[in-house]
Structure 1
Amino acid sequence: MKSIFKHQNKKNQYVVSFISVSLVSMLCLFTRDFLDYKVTGYLLLVLVSILAIFLEIFPVLLAAFLSAIILDFFFIKPYYNFHINSAEDGLLLLLFFVIALINAVLTFKIRKAEQEAQVKEAKLNTMKLYNTLLDSLSHELRTPISTIMGSVGTLQSGVNLSDENKTKLLSEMDKASLRLNYQVENLLNMSRLESGYIQPKLDWCDVKELAYNVLSSMNETLSQHRITVKANDYLPLFKLDYGLMEQILYNLIYNASQYTPIGAEIKITIEYNPVMDIDYNQEETMSCIITIADDGNGFPEDQIEKVFEKFYRLNNSKTGGTGLGLSIVKGFTEAQHGKIKLQNREEGGAVFTLSFPAEVMQTKNIGNE
């Protein structure tokens, strides 16, 4: 199938080459009695040069050959034959074809060299990204695995441990398992984003309940932070993908917990803003707005635009982290036609603002079920 498309594309290039030369020649034909044929030759030479930028070598050579034939047949006297009266005209025609040929070949080689350089640069960038990922993973995966293996080894060694020490070891294993699961989930999610496999499954979602569920799963991680959730008591249900939203909130809250000092506040606000969806039905839709703010140190202004890039980590950030969390948040948000914005707060700290053009269902319309 790929070879068929490639063949079709090449065939189209020949057509473009033929039509372009024909059109320019027809336009010049109307001015043949007023302009010297050398001007027509220059115009055709410029056309061949332009085609060389966009087409492959053989369609360009066809344009050069057709231009030389047309110039001789229609524009060099005597018209409508291939006879050339003077050596000057013959040399000019030969030079035209040679220059067009050299120009086509050189342009093609330059374009090919640029493409090879771009491919090489892309490979180097890819290798750099993967080296960054591997360096990060060597810490992010090895540390929790070592913790789990060490704790299991201690429990299996037969050493008499107090209940307090056993509880502590199990707690360490639990935290290490959660950390390991977080990194594996991020890798799998990034793979889904890269493959374009994300297909949101929209369903009615209680975003407030979802936020509390995420916070509940992070009790240990958030134990040294102050958590606040602000939402209307009668917040409507939004039609969103529960799984994607869960991962979005988890990554943003986890990121806030890791990059703010102990005792910092993490505030989650959920609200909606009615907007009119301009369509034939004039149906009313609601925009779901979620903000996650903290009172930490904020982000360097010159790096705010880069934090959503894959594998990007802030300068002078603490050891560890793969730089995938925020890029996944952005990908999952956009997969639901949402937007995400990061700003520094005037009073200190940072705030992530998520907005989704989601359908809503008022909870008062549900009734008793």
Structure 2
Amino acid sequence: MSADNSGGNVSVPLRNLLNSIQCIRDRAKDGESNESDGVFNLSNFWGTLNQAVKAVSLEATKLSLAFSKPPLPSQQDGEKLSESILKSVLTLSTVYYWLPKSQGVSLRRQVRDATVEVLDGVTQLLEVILSSPLQSLSQEQLTSTGGVWSACDRFGQLPQDNKAAVLVVLSSQIAVVKDAIEEIEQALSEAEDPFNDVLDDDQEEENPRGNQDMYWSEQDRRVIAPCQGLMKASTACLRKLTSAVKANGDSGSPQNVAQLDDLADISKEISPGVDDLALCLYPPMDYSGVENNVSKLAALLKKFLEIIRSSHVCGESELTWVQFLEGAVDHNLQKAKDLIQQDS
């Protein structure tokens, strides 16, 4: 490669750097935080972390510029560049490890993901530089450099405490559940076979498609209605919890932080439950599968509401909607079961 044609083999320090950053990235994905008995200052953490991120962004820019046009760096200059980048990356990963789990698992996961994204970006930039002709700045190198900048900029949008981190989780879950509900509503609203755009139908008009398994019967639609009700109750649970966390959520004590994490964790189980139910509603409907998924989702929602009820985010005013949604879950579950048993 052209890097080998410079004064020294500049690719050697770059390859060593690449290997080192890959190891740092892999450890960051699975590494534990450094818990300490002392008081943790979250504000100081963010200030130091943001400075570390800026340093990585600056060093990545220097690296990209150094390999954007001839003359290429000498092996000695390449070693200096590599040492400087490695120092910034080690600082970033070290500061990330400062964040203890006691500040919130949800928060730590999001900081970890952002940190890993930066390390992935630097790794990709190094791989591009090592694999591309080095006489000029390639589009791929520009894109990779921009990827590092973008990953670093993401730190400015990260939640600053566990309450904010849990709200990010809830927002993403609401979006996924909403999509599943809209897809099934769209399919139901279409007068024709919902699969008609993916099936060949070359039969003559006097011989219409005879495969009724590709259509919903009126009986199917009756069963689907309470299933949709349960899916909508899922969205209502997530939306109401979001409002409760905004109003009452507190990251000031370990107990409250842990409760917020529990709420975030169980909320992430709801969208797969809604997806499983939605998928089994498409024709041909297997009523036993529908009943199984309805029961699973209902049980999950009741557990979810019970965790909300026993958490610090649930005050007197929240109890009203918790009880209402418990009733809505029971109603839709029983209605779906009655219709399935009646039609089977």
Please confirm whether the aligned pair reaches a TM-score higher than 0.5, indicating the same fold: no
More strand by share: 1
Higher-Rg structure is 1
**Structure with larger RCO (C-alpha < 8 A, sep 6+):** 2
TM-score by length of structure 1 reads 0.24
